[in-house]
C-alpha cells in the first residue's frame, strides 16, 4: 500500500517535471493572449480608421462648403450684367430676393429647393441664376449653375432682414445689432412664425447718414440708400462620402467711399469756378430715374456764379429754376487721398485712345498728374471709361470723352476741343477751375454713381458653424 502511494506521487511529480507539457500549456496561453491582443488591435485600428475616414470626409465636406462660400463672394461682385453674377438683380434691393447655387452632383440626386432646403420659404423668389455672359439672374429652373465642377455643394443667398437680427438677440436700446432708422422692428413672436411674409426691412452695411464717419449695420426709411449695401446671409451645404457640413456667414460689400472722404454728390458738375466758351449741356435731372433731381452746377461759397458769364458759349443748364446752387467748398484732394488706395489702375503718362474698365467691370483709376513731365498735367486724347477717375493735379481732355461714373480732379480741368464731344454720365467734381470748352454734355446719374462706388471687397461680418442642422 505504501509502495503504491509512493509510486503514484512519483508519477505525479514526474508529470510536472515534463518540460514538453509545460511548454504546450504556455504556448496555448500565449496564443490566447496574442489572439486577444490581435483582436483588440484590429478593433482599435478599425475604429481609428473609421474615425479618420469620418474626420477626413467631414473635413472635405467642410472644404466643399468653404468653396461654395468663396464662389458666392466672387459672384456677388460687379453688376447684374457681370459674368456669372449671382446677386440681387434689382436696382432697388428686393426684400424677398433669394438665390441658390448648386453643383451637378446635387442635380443627379434630384435636388429641389422646396424639399431639400429646410429653411425654404415660398414667399421668396428663390432664383437659380443661369451663369453666362450676361447671366440670367431670375431663372428658377433647377440646373447646375456653379462654376466649380469637382465639389459637391449647394448654397443659398438672401438679404439679411430685421427678423434675422431679432432672432439673434437684437433688442432695441438693450442689445443693438443694428441701428433702426424706420422704428418698425418686428417682434420676436412674429419672427418665430416662419409662415409670415414680412420679416422686416433689409439691413444694410455702410454709412447711415451723410455725416457718419464709420460704417455700421442699419435699416433706413429709404429703399435704396446711396451709402449702404444689403448685408447678405450665405448658408452653404457641403457633402462628401455621406458627410455633410453647414456653414453660415454674413457678408458685406465694402463701400469704396465714405461721406468723410466723398460728400454726397449735390450737383452734376461742381467746381470752385466754372466757365468757358464751349457748347455745354449740364443736366441735374437723374438720368437713372431713381434719385431726386439736383442743380446742374454747384460752386463754393467763396466764389460767385453768373448764370451767363461773359465769354461762355452756348450753355444749357437744367432743371429750370434750379440750375445753379452754392453747395459749399469741397476738399477734393482729401476725397482723392481717401480713394486712391483702392485703385485698380495707376496711369503714369499721357494716353491716346485709352479705355478704363468696362460696362460690367467698373474700376478706380488714379493719376498723379503733379508728377508728370513736363507740364504736371495728364492729357487724354479720346478716353472711354467706367468707374472712378481720380486725378491729383490738372487734367486736359481732347478728342472724345465718354465716362460712366465719377470724375474727381483736385486741380484745373480743360475739356478743350478738337474732335468728338465729351459725354459724362454720373458726376464731375473739380477742385479748382473747370474750363468748359468744346462740346460737353454732363448727365447726373445715380445708377452710374452707385456702379462706380459698388466695387471693393466682399468680406464676412459673422461666421457660424451650423453643424448638421
Closest CA to 347 of 384, 380, 375: 380
Q: Is residue 245 within 8 Å of 255, Cβ to Cβ?
A: no
Confidence of residue 20 (pLDDT cuts 50, 70, 90): low
Cα dihedral sign for 293, 295, 297, 299? negative
Q: What is the pLDDT of residues 157-199, one digit of tens each?
A: 999 999 999 999 988 878 888 988 877 778 888 888 766 667 8
Confidence of residue 60 (pLDDT cuts 50, 70, 90): confident
> Cell numbers 479705355 correspond to what residue?
355
Mean local confidence (pLDDT), 39-65: 75
Confidence of residue 308 (pLDDT cuts 50, 70, 90): very low
Mean local confidence (pLDDT), 54-67: 84
Closest CA to 336 of 280, 283, 378: 378
Helices 19-75, 2-17: axis angle to 10 degrees equals 30
Grouping H, G, I as helix, E, B as strand and the rest as coil, residue 26 is: helix
CB atoms < 10 A from the CB of 345, how many?
A: 14
Mean local confidence (pLDDT), 373-380: 91
pLDDT for res 51: 61
Angle at 74 between CA 73 and CA 78, to 5 degrees: 105
pLDDT for res 49: 63
Per-residue pLDDT at 424 exceeds 90: yes
Q: Where are the beta strands (DSSP E) in 320-432?
A: 324-326, 345-347, 351-356, 363-368, 377-392, 394-409, 413-414, 422-430
Q: Is residue 112 within 8 Å of 31, Cβ to Cβ?
A: no
Distance of CA 313 to the CA centre of its chain: 45
pLDDT for res 4: 56
What separation, in Å, do the N-terminal and C-terminal C-alpha atoms of the chain show? 86
pLDDT for res 279: 86
pLDDT for res 383: 96
Upstream peptide bond of 374 is cis (omega within 30 degrees of 0): yes
pLDDT for res 237: 94
Q: What is the pLDDT of residues 329-349, one digit of tens each?
A: 888 888 888 788 778 899 999
| Least confident among 161-165, 225-229, 397-401, 461-465 | 225-229
> Cell numbers 420676436 correspond to what residue?
188
In whole angstroms, give the CA distance from residue 415 to residue 16: 118
Reported pTM: 0.65
125: left (phi over 0), alpha (psi -120 to 50) or beta: alpha
Which of 55-59, 68-72, 183-187, 450-454: highest mean pLDDT? 68-72
pLDDT for res 12: 53
In whole angstroms, give the CA distance from residue 286 to residue 292: 6
| Least confident among 25-29, 102-106, 175-179, 301-305 | 301-305
pLDDT for res 260: 47
Cα dihedral sign for 295, 299, 302, 306? negative
Per-residue pLDDT at 130 exceeds 50: yes
In whole angstroms, give the CA distance from residue 16 to residue 24: 12
In whole angstroms, give the CA distance from residue 324 to residue 125: 44
Q: Which residue has the higher pLDDT, 20 or 391?
A: 391
pLDDT for res 6: 52
* Residue 57 parent element (H or E): helix 19-75
pLDDT for res 221: 76
| Least confident among 248-262, 272-286, 301-315 | 301-315
pLDDT for res 52: 64
Closest CA to 452 of 362, 346, 358: 362
Mean local confidence (pLDDT), 14-36: 70
pLDDT for res 195: 66
Per-residue pLDDT at 128 exceeds 70: yes
pLDDT for res 155: 95
In the chain, % of residues over pLDDT 90? 35
Confidence of residue 310 (pLDDT cuts 50, 70, 90): very low
| Least confident among 128-132, 169-173, 208-212 | 208-212
pLDDT for res 90: 86
pLDDT for res 157: 97
In the chain, % of residues over pLDDT 70? 83
Radius of gyration of the chain (CA): 35
pLDDT for res 257: 52
Confidence of residue 77 (pLDDT cuts 50, 70, 90): confident
Q: Is residue 456 within 8 Å of 438, Cβ to Cβ?
A: no
Amino acid at each position: 500500500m505504501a509502495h503504491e502511494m509512493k509510486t503514484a506521487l512519483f508519477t505525479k511529480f514526474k508529470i510536472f517535471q515534463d518540460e514538453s507539457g509545460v511548454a504546450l500549456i504556455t504556448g496555448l496561453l500565449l496564443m490566447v493572449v496574442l489572439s486577444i491582443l490581435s483582436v483588440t488591435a484590429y478593433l482599435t485600428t478599425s475604429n481609428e480608421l473609421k474615425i479618420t475616414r469620418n474626420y477626413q470626409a467631414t473635413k472635405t465636406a467642410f472644404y466643399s462648403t468653404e468653396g461654395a462660400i468663396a464662389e458666392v463672394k466672387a459672384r456677388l461682385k460687379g453688376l447684374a450684367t457681370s459674368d456669372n453674377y449671382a446677386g440681387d438683380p434689382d436696382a432697388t434691393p428686393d426684400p424677398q430676393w433669394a438665390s441658390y447655387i448648386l453643383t451637378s452632383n446635387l442635380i443627379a440626386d434630384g435636388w429641389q429647393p422646396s424639399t431639400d432646403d429646410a429653411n425654404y420659404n415660398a414667399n421668396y423668389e428663390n432664383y437659380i441664376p443661369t451663369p453666362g455672359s450676361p447671366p440670367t439672374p431670375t431663372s428658377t429652373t433647377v440646373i447646375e449653375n456653379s462654376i466649380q465642377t469637382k465639389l459637391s455643394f449647394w448654397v443659398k443667398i438672401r438679404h439679411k432682414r430685421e427678423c434675422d437680427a431679432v432672432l439673434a438677440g437684437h433688442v432695441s436700446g438693450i442689445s443693438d445689432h443694428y441701428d433702426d432708422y424706420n422704428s418698425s422692428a418686428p417682434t420676436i413672436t412674429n419672427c418665430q412664425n416662419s409662415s409670415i411674409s414680412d420679416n422686416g426691412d433689409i439691413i444694410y452695411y455702410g454709412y447711415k447718414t451723410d455725416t457718419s464717419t464709420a460704417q455700421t449695420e442699419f435699416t433706413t426709411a429709404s429703399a435704396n440708400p446711396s451709402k449702404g449695401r444689403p448685408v447678405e446671409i450665405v448658408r452653404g451645404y457641403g457633402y462628401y462620402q455621406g458627410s455633410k457640413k453647414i456653414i453660415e456667414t454674413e457678408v458685406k460689400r465694402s463701400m469704396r467711399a465714405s461721406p468723410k472722404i466723398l460728400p454726397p454728390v449735390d450737383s452734376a458738375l461742381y467746381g470752385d469756378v466754372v466757365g468757358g466758351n464751349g457748347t455745354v449741356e449740364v443736366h441735374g435731372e437723374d438720368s437713372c430715374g431713381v434719385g431726386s433731381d439736383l442743380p446742374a452746377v454747384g460752386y463754393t461759397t467763396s466764389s460767385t456764379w453768373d448764370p451767363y458769364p461773359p465769354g461762355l458759349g452756348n450753355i444749357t443748364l437744367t432743371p429750370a429754376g434750379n440750375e445753379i446752387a452754392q453747395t459749399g467748398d469741397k476738399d477734393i484732394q482729401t476725397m482723392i487721398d481717401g480713394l486712391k488706395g483702392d485703385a485698380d489702375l495707376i496711369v503714369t503718362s499721357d494716353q491716346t485712345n485709352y479705355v478704363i474698365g468696362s460696362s460690367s467691370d467698373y474700376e478706380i483709376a488714379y493719376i498723379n498728374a503733379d508728377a508728370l513731365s513736363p507740364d504736371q498735367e495728364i492729357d487724354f486724347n479720346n478716353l472711354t471709361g467706367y468707374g472712378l477717375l481720380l486725378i491729383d493735379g490738372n487734367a486736359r481732355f481732347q478728342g472724345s470723352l465718354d465716362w460712366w461714373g465719377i470724375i474727381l480732379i483736385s486741380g484745373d480741368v480743360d475739356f478743350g476741343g478738337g474732335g468728338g464731344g465729351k459725354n459724362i454720365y454720373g458726376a464731375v467734381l473739380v477742385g479748382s477751375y473747370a474750363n468748359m470748352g468744346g462740346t460737353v454734355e454732363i448727365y447726373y446719374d445715380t445708377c452710374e454713381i452707385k456702379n462706380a462706388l459698388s466695387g471693393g471687397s466682399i468680406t464676412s461680418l459673422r461666421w457660424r458653424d451650423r453643424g448638421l442642422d
